Amino acid sequence: MIRKICVVVTARASYCRIKTVLTEIRNHPALELQLVVAASALLGKYGCILDSIEKDGFCITAKISNLLDVDNYTAAAKTTGLGIIELASLFENIKPDVVVSIGDRFETMSTATTASFMNITLAHVQGGEVTGNIDEKVRHAVTYLSDIHFAATEKAQSRIIQHGKNPQSVFNTGCPSIDLALQVKNASEYCDSAASERKKPDVIEKYLVVMQHSVTTELQCTRKQIQETLNAVKILNIPTYWFYPNADPGSSEIIAGIREFGEKCNDHLIRFVKNFEPLHFLKLIQSSCCLIGNSSTGIREASFLGIPVVNIGSRQAGRERGSNVIDTDYDCGKIAEAVKNQLLHGPYPSENIYGSGHAGQKIASLLATIPLSTNRKTDYL
């Protein structure tokens, strides 16, 4: 009997992380893919991924427009509630056998809560990790609600079991985004994106990439934090691709800081971008001389690709990282100095902390064969 696997994608980063899993599910003879796109993944402001999904040949089962485009804690809570309402009706209609939730963004609480209350088997990708931000609470909450767990590292797998989850339902598959990183190692063509607001750096010369999101537990500092990074990049005077932030509370402060900087500093070498297709994005990262900011891309994919990273602040605190990462505070002088040090030491050897690039195949195979259960019992150690 064919199993219906519903994957809910709520952000551009989630799609990049889960793309190979979607491909393997679609191609598996015992599985039927139900792809739901929701929340910030539908908004151009945060890098709408619908074009990428269409180019990749996936059929979208449903679109859920539940994101309140208001940048505060209240909007995040209401977005989660609206997601539960919409997903409940959808799941009742499409009747999935398994619902897959990805990562730790606040929108994933809607997916996990709805599947749990409707007694649908819930599978969680990338649980068991440790970070700062609200993501830490969300990740562990989704872990407790989930029935099947696809961890990205051995330590994450161990933590999930320590939470009282049945070891027979917890698998170290590696991170699916490493599957794409493995592909770009053999890709030679550089592809550009039209989603730009500034002059493109010359890709023949060295360039930086910046990915900085708000820290939801430090919103009062958001504008100062982004200003310090902008000043550091200006000091370095190296061509730079700078990605717009995700849809977390505080993102409007980052966007406002970026725009104010662009208006005041006409001579900068920064190109601000909203979205690249997944493979093109990782190729851009691979060809850069340093990745700056607080994105998990610097911790996961960059360690596999051996890209020098300057990780700023507390957002990734506690997450396993490779020798390619230097941690620093939100201080323009310290950031610039850390980047200069990385330019002297990189590139780094590839590290397989988050897998070797075969997570999608492993996850699809397990979804097709593992006994399905919604047993809510916790086996405390």
Same domain? For 106 and 49 the reply is: yes
* Residues 341, 215 within the same domain: yes
* Distance from the first to the final alpha carbon of the chain: 36
Establish if 146 belongs to a structural domain. yes
> What is the DSSP pairing of strand 240-243 with strand 270-273?
parallel
pTM comes to 0.90
Looking at the structure, tell me whether residues 9 and 134 fall in a common domain: yes
Give CA 93 to chain center in angstroms.
28
CATH code for the domain of 337: 3.40.50.2000
Total Cβ atoms within 10 A of residue 109: 24
Tell me, yes or no, whether 92 and 213 share the same domain: no
pLDDT tens track for 263-318: 888 778 999 998 888 888 999 999 999 999 999 999 999 999 999 999 999 999 99
Beta strands in the chain (DSSP E): 3-9, 31-38, 60-64, 98-102, 121-125, 148-151, 170-172, 208-211, 240-243, 270-273, 290-293, 309-312, 325-328
Same domain, 320 and 362: no
pLDDT score at 277: 85
pLDDT at 267: 74
Is residue 11 located within the same domain as residue 128? yes
Both 28 and 136 in one domain: the answer is yes
pLDDT of 191: 47
Structure tokens belonging to residue 233 = 């990049």
What is the sign, positive or negative, of the torsion defined by CA atoms of 136, 142, 145, 149? Answer: negative
Rg value, the chain, Cα: 20
**How many structural domains does the chain have?**
2
In this structure, are 159 and 221 located in the same domain?
no
Residue 275 lies in a domain: yes
Give the span between the Cα atoms of 192 and 200, in whole angstroms. Answer: 9
**What pLDDT does residue 16 have?**
87
Together in a domain, 255 and 359: no
For residue 180, is it within any domain? no
Residue 200 lies in a domain: no
pLDDT digits (tens, 9 = 90+) for 145-155: 999 999 999 99
Question: What would the DSSP string read from start to end of 327-353?
Answer: EE-S-HHHHHHHHHHHHHH-S-----T
Whether residue 140 is found in the same domain as residue 17:
yes
Residues 25 and 152 in one domain: yes
pLDDT the model gives residue 190: 47
Residues 242, 266 within the same domain: yes
- pLDDT the model gives residue 376: 64
Domain that holds residue 254: 208-345
Rounded to an integer, what distance in angstroms lies between the CA atom of residue 166 and that of residue 164? Answer: 7
Query: Edge to edge, what strands does the sheet with 208-211 contain?
Result: 270-273, 240-243, 208-211, 290-293, 309-312, 325-328
pLDDT score, position 216: 87
Which residues of the chain, if any, have pLDDT below 50?
190-203
Asked whether residue 190 is domain-assigned, the answer is no
Query: Is-contact 170 147, C-beta < 8 A?
Result: no
Q: Is 292 helix (H, G, I), strand (E, B) or coil?
A: strand
- Please name which of 64, 61, 41 lies closest in space to residue 51, comparing C-alpha atoms: 41
Is 130 within 8 Å of 319 (Cβ atoms)?
yes
